[in-house]
């Protein structure tokens, strides 16, 4: 027989309430600054370690030039200019007929004359003398030499020369700490000024004189690509009689196709230049979608030449962001009368097409044509580009005047 207590328990079970639910867990505390510090510490340590090991993991010495770039370099020459900087120039001459016109191309940031190799040959096949000059530090032009830093006098030498108690006496009399250089506003290094548009324009003038383009078919038809707009405009303003017409190819003073700002980022700038896949992806994303691996490798090899990465970055920093195309067009009667044509990408982005509309508003009297290429159409639409340029320059009446750039105090010699 079951115990009485058990029976009583069975009878009371239906009347009992269910056990209470367990209390909710306490809220998790919000992450504090102290808990996040280890994450940032390890992240900083990993990035620093990568920055130290990257130069040893990746090849640092520039490799031999690829065949494409070597062939292009052998077809041109570095012009030894006085005063410098020296510039690389290449020309393509018609083989069967006398040149009907002379075209001078100034490539944009990081593009270089190599990117116009097909366009130059296509122009010469149409009876046009075509030449291209790489701006200072761009393409195959050597970077500007940086002067050695000024010598600094050692504080120890100052103490030896003036005595031990000179510092204390100077502090008591003037209240200033001796042997401390006064803080000065940061200035660009002297060689960086050579990348400025007006300095580049002066170098181009010396290069044109050295090439003898003005004597071949004066004046020249100037073609400005991308960021070469500002330097080319300065060249035209200083030498209006030496220019017959101006053609702009996706030209801009504010938004160059190549994102040179990446080159100034620690670690990332080195990786972009040293890793072929990253550099090729950058060119396809920002410059020309149809670019093969061999061509991208040639552009990367040009960027890996000694001092070129810093030169491209300094050239980007030296761009005149306040340049106004409309204001320049009306700056003088000679500039205002120059025939102009604008070639613009109609297949890039909507933002870039809007930039083209701004150019149309600034140059209402210029001929405007959309092309099917990208921001570097000389790579993916060179035949279309050269046909438009040749038709434009040969349709203009030939000038009977032979003009030369006035450089009484400057001489230039070309060295093969």
User: Do 313 and 272 touch, CB atoms closer than 8 A?
Assistant: no
User: Do 336 and 329 touch, CB atoms closer than 8 A?
Assistant: yes
CA dihedral 52, 58, 60, 65 (to 10 degrees): -160
Alpha-carbon distance of 229 to 254, in angstroms, equals: 10
Write the DSSP symbol of residue 290. S
Is 158 domain-assigned? no
Give burial (CB, 10 Å; 0-12/13-18/19+) of 287: buried
In the prediction, which pLDDT does 412 show? 36
What CATH number does residue 299 fall under?
3.40.50.1820
Task: Report helix, strand or coil for 311.
Answer: helix
Residues forming beta bridges with residue 249, ordered by sequence position: 225, 343
Predicted TM-score (pTM) of this structure: 0.74
Distance (Å) of CA 192 to CA 110, 197, 317, 328? 16, 11, 9, 24
Is 60 domain-assigned? no
In the prediction, which pLDDT does 1 show? 46
Alpha-helical runs (H) found in 58-163: 67-74, 117-125, 155-162
Alpha-carbon distance of 166 to 304, in angstroms, equals: 51
CB within 8 Å of 35: residues ≥ 6 apart:
none
Task: Report helix, strand or coil for 413.
Answer: strand
Cite the beta strand spans of 191-302 per DSSP E: 220-225, 243-249
In the prediction, which pLDDT does 76 show? 93
Task: Report helix, strand or coil for 221.
Answer: strand
Write the DSSP symbol of residue 322. T
Distance (Å) of CA 150 to CA 146, 147, 307? 12, 9, 21
Residue 286: how many CB atoms within 10 A of its CB? 17
Using alpha carbons, select from 139, 66, 127 the residue that is nearest to residue 92.
Answer: 127
Task: Report helix, strand or coil for 278.
Answer: helix
Structure tokens at 227: 């960021």
Is 252 domain-assigned? yes
Structure tokens at 362: 């600034």
Is 386 domain-assigned? yes
Alpha-carbon distance of 226 to 248, in angstroms, equals: 8
CB within 8 Å of 139: residues ≥ 6 apart:
88, 107, 111, 112, 113, 114, 302
Q: State the first-to-last Cα distance of the chain, in angstroms, to the nearest integer.
A: 122
Is 383 domain-assigned? yes
Is 183 domain-assigned? no
Alpha-helical runs (H) found in 249-381: 268-274, 276-286, 293-303, 308-317, 325-329, 333-336, 350-362, 377-380
Is 75 domain-assigned? yes
CB within 8 Å of 252: residues ≥ 6 apart:
226, 227, 229, 355
Tally the domains of the chain.
1
Residue 62: how many CB atoms within 10 A of its CB? 13
In the prediction, which pLDDT does 97 show? 73
Q: What is the pLDDT along the chain (416 residues), one digit of tens a residue?
A: 444 444 444 544 455 666 666 666 556 555 555 566 676 677 777 766 766 666 555 555 567 889 999 999 999 999 998 888 999 999 999 887 777 889 999 999 999 999 999 999 999 999 999 999 999 999 999 998 655 545 555 555 555 565 555 555 655 566 555 555 554 545 555 556 778 889 999 999 999 988 876 555 568 999 999 999 999 999 999 999 999 999 999 999 889 999 999 999 888 888 999 999 999 999 999 999 889 999 999 999 999 998 899 999 999 999 888 899 999 999 999 999 999 999 999 999 999 999 999 999 999 999 999 999 999 999 999 999 999 999 999 999 865 334 444 443 343 334 43
Domain span at residue 108 reads 70-147+190-408
Cis peptide, bond prior to residue 83, ω within 30 of zero: yes
In the prediction, which pLDDT does 153 show? 53
Alpha-carbon distance of 375 to 377, in angstroms, equals: 6
- The sheet carrying 243-249 orders its strands as 367-371, 340-345, 243-249, 220-225, 102-106, 129-133, 87-92, 77-82, 411-414
Is 384 domain-assigned? yes
């Amino acid at each position: 027989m079951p115990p009485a207590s058990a029976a009583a328990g069975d009878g009371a079970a239906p009347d009992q309430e269910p056990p209470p639910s367990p209390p909710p867990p306490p809220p998790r505390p919000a992450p504090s600054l102290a808990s996040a510090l280890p994450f940032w510490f390890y992240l900083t340590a990993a990035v620093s370690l990568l920055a130290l090991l990257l130069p040893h993991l990746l090849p640092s010495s520039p490799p031999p030039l690829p065949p494409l770039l070597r062939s292009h370099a052998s077809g041109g020459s570095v012009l030894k200019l006085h005063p410098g900087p020296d510039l690389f120039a290449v020309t393509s001459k018609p083989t069967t007929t006398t040149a009907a016109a002379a075209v001078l191309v100034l490539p944009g940031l990081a593009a270089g004359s190599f990117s116009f190799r097909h366009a130059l040959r296509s122009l010469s096949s149409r009876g046009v003398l075509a030449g291209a000059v790489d701006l200072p530090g761009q393409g195959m032009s050597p970077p500007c030499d940086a002067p050695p830093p000024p010598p600094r006098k050692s504080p120890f030498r100052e103490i030896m020369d003036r005595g031990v108690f000179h510092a204390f006496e100077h502090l008591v009399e003037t209240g200033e700490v001796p042997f401390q250089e006064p803080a000065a506003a940061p200035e660009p290094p002297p060689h960086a000024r050579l990348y400025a548009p007006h300095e580049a324009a002066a170098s181009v003038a010396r290069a044109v004189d050295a090439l003898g383009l003005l004597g071949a078919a004066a004046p020249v038809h100037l073609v400005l690509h991308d960021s070469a707009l500002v330097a080319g405009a300065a060249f035209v303003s200083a030498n209006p009689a030496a220019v017959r017409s101006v053609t702009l190819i996706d030209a801009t003073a504010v938004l160059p196709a190549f994102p040179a700002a990446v080159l100034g980022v620690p670690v990332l700038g080195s990786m972009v230049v040293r890793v072929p896949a990253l550099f090729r992806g950058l060119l396809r994303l920002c410059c020309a979608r149809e670019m093969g691996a061999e061509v991208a490798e040639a552009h990367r090899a040009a960027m890996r030449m000694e001092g070129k990465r810093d030169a491209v970055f300094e050239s980007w920093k030296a761009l005149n962001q306040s340049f106004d195309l409309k204001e320049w067009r009306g700056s003088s009667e000679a500039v205002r009368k120059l025939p102009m044509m604008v070639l613009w990408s109609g297949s890039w982005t909507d933002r870039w097409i809007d930039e083209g509309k701004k150019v149309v508003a600034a140059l209402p009297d210029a001929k405007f044509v959309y092309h099917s290429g990208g921001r570097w159409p000389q790579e993916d639409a060179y035949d279309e580009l050269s046909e438009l340029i040749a038709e434009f320059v040969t349709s203009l009446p030939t000038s009977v005047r032979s003009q030369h750039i006035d450089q009484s105090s400057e001489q230039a010699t070309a060295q093969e």
